[in-house]
Amino acid sequence: MQTWLPMKVGLFIPCYVDAFFPEVGVATLELLERLGCSVEYPLDQTCCGQPMANSGCQDDAAATEAHFVRCFQDFEVVVGPSGSCVHHVRQNLDATEQTPAALKVRASTRELVEFLYDDLRIEAFPWARFPHKVGLHNSCSAARGLGHERPSERVNDPLFSKTRNLLGKVHGLELVEIDRLDECCGFGGSFCVTDEAVSAKMGWDRVRDFHRHGAEYIASADMSCLLHMKGVIDRLGLPLKAIHIAQILNGAAR
Amino acid sequence: MTRAVAPERRAERFIALEEHESTHDRLVWGMRQHRDQAVAGVPEWEGLRELASQIKEHTLTNLDHYLEQFEENAKKLGTHVHWARDTGEHNAIVYDVLRTHSVRSLIKSKSMLQEECGMTPYLEKRGITVTESDLGERIQQLSHEPPSHIVVPAIHKLRTDIAELFAREIGSDPKNAEPHYLTEAMRANARPRFLAADAAMTGANFAVAETGGFVVCTNEGNADIGASVPPLHIASIGIEKLIPRARDLGVFVRMLSRSALGSPMTQYTSHFHGPRRGGELHVVLVDNTRSERLGSPDFWHALKCIRCGACMNTCPVYRRGGGLSYGATYSGPIGVILDPGFDLEKYRELPFHSSLCGSCTQVCPVKIDVSDQIYKWRRVVAARGMLRLSKRVGMSALGATLAHPAAFRAAESAAETALAGLPRFALYNPLNPWGRHRELPDVPRTTFRQWYLEHRAKEDR
C-alpha cells in the first residue's frame, strides 16, 4: 500500500506545455490527483526563465525568475512535467536575487518522474495500460542533469533508470532497446533554430534510431525534446508517435 | 568588433556533404564506444578520474613552485630551458635556436601548442621547411587546413579525399584509396625527409617537475624518429602540462589513450631526460594566456585538460558539424571553452554551438566541468554585449513578456492565431529555420490554463 501523506503540490506547467501541449498538463494534474496529492495550479505562472538564461541573458531572465519564485514560494513542493525546466530551476535559477524564498523554491522543485519515484515511491499504476512498443528518450537535462538514469558514459556505475522503472509498471508496455541510449536529440533550446542544420540532423538520427528498432512511440519526460522530434517524425513521414510519460502513467487511452 | 567565426554555417556546409558527415559521425562515435569498452576494463576508473583531477588541481594551484622545480631539474640533465610569455616569444625563441644551428629543414611531431602559436607559417616565412611527421597532420598540412581533431587530425576526410590529395601532392595512384597503400605511399615519400632533417620539434604530453624530464605519446613513433635522427630537439610545452612526480604518470598514462581511442596505452610513450649523446635538447615553456585563465574562478579548471579528445568523440554537435566548423585551433567542447579565452570577440559564437547535453563533462578523464563552462561563457558573451543582434533583441522582448502574466497570455493567443491562420508557405520559409527540416506543432484549441479555469478553478470557488 502507498503510505505517503497527502502533500500540497504546486503544479508547474512550463510555458510551451501550456501553449502547445495542454493534454500533458492535464495528464500530470490528473495523475497527481489519482495518487492522492492535493494539487494547485497558480494561475499567474508564466515561465522559469530558462529561455533567456540559456542564451546567457541573465539580465533578461531576472524578472521572469523572480516572478516564478513569487508564484511558487508558498508550496511545500513544486512539481513540473519537464526535466529541462526543473533542471534550470534547481541548478541555474540565479539571475534573480537568492532570497530565502528563491532558495526554498529552487530546492523544492521536482520533476514528475523523480517526484513519483523518489518522493512518493509509487509501486503501481493499476489504471495504466499501454500495449505498445515504446522507445524511451530521457532528455539530457533529466538523465545527466537531474540523475534520472545512469548516464552511458559512467560505464562502471550500477545501472539504473527511474523512468524505465516507472514505465515497467504499465501493463502491456514493451520497451525497445536502441543503439545510442542517451544521445542528445538536438533540441537544445534556441540552439534548435540558431544551429538549425546540426539540430535537425541530430533529430533525424535520433528518430531513425527509434524507428529502426521497431518503436511505435517515443516517450519522454521532456515535451521540448518531443516537440522537436515530432517535427522531424512528421517531416519524414515515419509511423512513430511522441508521447509524454505523464500521459502513459495516467492511463492514456490509445 | 572582430568578425566572429560562424560555426553553425560551417557545420551546415559539412552536413550538406552527406557521406562526409555520416562517415565522420560513425567513426568518431566508434572511438567513444571503444573508450567505453576500455573504461569497463578498469573498475576503478571513477576513482582514477578523481585522482587525476586532484593531481592537476594541486599542480595548478602550486604551478610557480613546480615550474621552477622542473626548470632546475631539466637544467641538471643538460636541457636548455626557455620561457615564452606568448606565441610571439615562443616563435622567436624557436627561430633563434634554429638559426643558430643553421637549420634549413625541420621535422615536427604533433603539437597543439605549436598550432596555437602559428609556428609553421612563421618558420616557413623565414625559409625553414617544416614537415609534419604524424600521418594525419601531414594530410592536413598538404591540405592547408588546421587539424579538425586533437588526436585524429584528418578524421573529417574520406579515404577517397586522401587518395586524391596524395595523387596531387606525392604522385600516388588517384584510384587507390586503400589505407595500407596510402600509408605506404606517404611513408616512402616522407622517410627521406625525416632522415635529412636538421632538427626535430615535438610537443609534450606531460612534464615531470621532480625529474626535469617530459613525456611524448604517439601511436606512430613519429616523435621518436624525429628526436633520434637529427642532433637538435626542441619541445614546446604549455605550462599546464606539469605534473609533480614520475609516479603521477601512472595515473595519466592509464587514462590518456583509453579516453582517446580506447587502447590501453599509446603505442609509444617516450620519456626524454636531457639531450642524447652529442645532441642538444631545448624546452620552451609557454604561457600564452594560461596564467590569466588560472586567475579565473569559473574557467581555470580547463587547464587540467590532457588533450585526449574524449569530449570531441562524445559530442553530438562535433560529430555532425566536424572539427573545422569551429574555425579555431581547438575544436569540440574543449575548444568551445578554450578558444574564447584566446580571443573572445572572434570566438563569441562558439559557446552557442552546443546543445548543452553534458556528455563531455561525464567522459572527461580529469573531470573538467566542460558543459558548465560552456554555459558560463554564454553569460560572459551576453554580459559583454557581444550577442548577435537578433538574440539580444529577442531575449530582451521575451524576458519582458514572460515576466508578466497578462503579456504572456496575449503572446500565447497571438502565436496560436499566427500558427493556425498562416498558410504553409509563410510558415515553412527560409526565414523560419524551424521549418527547414521539421514540421511545426499542431495548435490546440485551448491552453492548459484555460482548461484548468474551466475544469478545476470553478470547483475551488
The pLDDT tens digits for B152-188 are 999 999 999 999 999 999 999 999 999 999 999 999 9
Residue B421, CA distances (Å) to A17, A197, A209, B417, B443 in order: 20, 27, 34, 6, 10
Q: Which residue of A19, A57, A155 is in closest CB contact with B395?
A: A57
Q: Which residue of B361, B405, B450 is in closest CB contact with A46?
A: B405
For B353-388, what is each residue's pLDDT tens digit? 999 999 999 999 999 999 999 999 999 999 999 998
Predicted confidence at residue B259, as pLDDT, reads: 98
Q: Are A143 and A128 in contact (CB under 8 A)?
A: no
Per-residue pLDDT, averaged over B17-30, amounts to: 97
Per-residue pLDDT, averaged over B100-117, amounts to: 96
For A16-44, what is each residue's pLDDT tens digit? 999 999 999 999 999 999 999 999 999 99
Q: In chain B, what are the domain boundaries?
A: 45-157+191-288, 389-460
Give me the percent of chain A exceeding a pLDDT of 70.
Answer: 97
- Inter-chain contact A20–B443, Cβ cutoff 8 Å? yes
Model confidence at A1, pLDDT cuts 50, 70, 90, reads very low
Helix (H, G, I), strand (E, B), or coil: what is residue A174? Answer: strand
Q: What is the 3-state secondary structure (H, E, C) of A80-131?
A: ECCHHHHHHHHHHCCCCCCCHHHHHHHHHEEEHHHHHHHHCCCCCCCCCECC
Per-residue pLDDT, averaged over A81-87, amounts to: 96
What DSSP assignment string belongs to B340-400? HHH-TTTTTTGGGS-----HHHHH-TT---HHHHHHHHHHHHHHTT-S-HHHHHHHHHHHH
Indicate the Cα dihedral angle B64, B69, B70, B73, nearest 10°: 160
Give me the percent of chain B exceeding a pLDDT of 70.
Answer: 96
**Angstroms from B453 CA to nearest CA on chain A:** 9
Q: Does B448 touch chain A (CB under 8 A)?
A: yes
Q: Does B312 touch chain A (CB under 8 A)?
A: no
Predicted confidence at residue A252, as pLDDT, reads: 78
C-alpha to C-alpha distance for B110 and B281, rounded to whole angstroms: 18
- Mention every residue, 6+ apart, whose C-beta is less than 8 A from residue B73: B209, B210, B211, B212, B213
Name the phi and psi angles at A37, rounded to 5.
Answer: -80, 150
For A2-15, what is each residue's pLDDT tens digit? 455 667 899 999 99
Output the pTM of the full model. 0.96
Per-residue pLDDT, averaged over B67-89, amounts to: 98
Model confidence at A124, pLDDT cuts 50, 70, 90, reads very high
Domain spanning B45-157+191-288, CATH architecture: 3-Layer(aba) Sandwich (3.40)
For A50-59, what is each residue's pLDDT tens digit? 999 999 999 9
- Is the Cα torsion angle B123, B124, B129, B133 positive or negative in sign? positive
**Angstroms from A158 CA to nearest CA on chain B:** 11
The set of cell numbers assigned to A62 is 531576472
Q: Treating both helix axes as pointing N-terminal to C-terminal, what angle do B370-383 and A58-72 enclose, rounded to 10 degrees? A: 110
* Sequence-distant contacts of B391-397: CB under 8 A, at least 24 apart: B391/A55, B391/A57, B391/A190, B391/A194, B392/A57, B395/A51, B395/A52, B395/A55, B395/A57, B395/A60, B396/A57, B396/A60
- Over 60: is that where the pLDDT of B290 sits? yes
Least confident of A124-128, A145-149, A167-171, B410-414: B410-414
**Angstroms from B81 CA to nearest CA on chain A:** 40
CB < 8 Å to B314, chain A? 153
Residue A134, CA distances (Å) to A215, A225, A247, A251, B173 in order: 5, 16, 13, 15, 51
Residue A68, CA distances (Å) to A32, B183, B344 in order: 21, 61, 33
- Inter-chain contact A56–B399, Cβ cutoff 8 Å? no
Predicted confidence at residue B427, as pLDDT, reads: 60
Report how far apart the first and last C-alpha atoms of chain B are (Å, whole number). Answer: 58
Least confident of B29-33, B255-259, B332-336, B401-405: B401-405
The CATH topology of domain A133-249 is Rossmann fold (3.40.50)
Predicted confidence at residue B461, as pLDDT, reads: 47
Q: Which of A191, A253, A212, A183 is nearest to A50 (CA)?
A: A191
Q: Are A86 and A65 in contact (CB under 8 A)?
A: no
- Inter-chain contact A92–B375, Cβ cutoff 8 Å? yes
User: How buried is B144 (Cβ within 10 angstroms: 0-12 exposed, 13-18 middle, 19+ buried)?
Assistant: exposed
How many contacts, defined by CB atoms under 8 Å, are there between A and B? 233
Q: Are B243 and B206 in contact (CB under 8 A)?
A: yes
Q: Are A235 and A157 in contact (CB under 8 A)?
A: no
* Residue whose cell numbers read 528563491: A102
- Mention every residue, 6+ apart, whose C-beta is less than 8 A from residue B433: A193, A194, A196
Give me the percent of chain B exceeding a pLDDT of 90.
Answer: 86
Predicted confidence at residue B411, as pLDDT, reads: 85
CB < 8 Å to A13, chain B? 448-449
- Mention every residue, 6+ apart, whose C-beta is less than 8 A from residue B165: B139, B142, B143, B157
Predicted confidence at residue A53, as pLDDT, reads: 95
If you ran DSSP here, which 8-state letter would residue B324 be given? G
Q: In chain A, what are the domain boundaries?
A: 8-119, 133-249
Give me the percent of chain A exceeding a pLDDT of 90.
Answer: 94
What is the overall mean pLDDT for chain A? 95
C-alpha to C-alpha distance for B302 and B371, rounded to whole angstroms: 11
* Sequence-distant contacts of B132-138: CB under 8 A, at least 24 apart: B132/B108, B133/B107, B133/B108, B133/B109, B133/B190, B133/B194, B133/B220, B133/B222, B133/B223, B133/B225, B133/B226, B134/B109, B134/B110, B134/B218, B134/B220, B134/B222, B135/B183, B135/B186, B135/B220, B135/B222, B136/B110, B137/B110, B138/B186, B138/B190
C-alpha to C-alpha distance for B174 and B160, rounded to whole angstroms: 8
- Over 80: is that where the pLDDT of B394 sits? yes
Predicted confidence at residue A24, as pLDDT, reads: 97
Q: Does B452 touch chain A (CB under 8 A)?
A: yes
Model confidence at B343, pLDDT cuts 50, 70, 90, reads very high
C-alpha to C-alpha distance for A227 and B439, rounded to whole angstroms: 9
What is the overall mean pLDDT for chain B? 94
**Angstroms from A153 CA to nearest CA on chain B:** 6
Per-residue pLDDT, averaged over A182-188, amounts to: 97
- Inter-chain contact B21–A154, Cβ cutoff 8 Å? no
Helix (H, G, I), strand (E, B), or coil: what is residue A217? Answer: strand
If you ran DSSP here, which 8-state letter would residue B100 be given? H
C-alpha to C-alpha distance for B376 and B344, rounded to whole angstroms: 13
Predicted confidence at residue B422, as pLDDT, reads: 59
C-alpha to C-alpha distance for B230 and B194, rounded to whole angstroms: 9
Q: Are B280 and B235 in contact (CB under 8 A)?
A: no
User: How buried is B267 (Cβ within 10 angstroms: 0-12 exposed, 13-18 middle, 19+ buried)?
Assistant: exposed
Residue B377, CA distances (Å) to A119, A217, A223, B4, B220 in order: 35, 37, 27, 15, 36
Least confident of A179-188, B80-89, B101-110, B410-419: B410-419
Per-residue pLDDT, averaged over B87-105, amounts to: 98
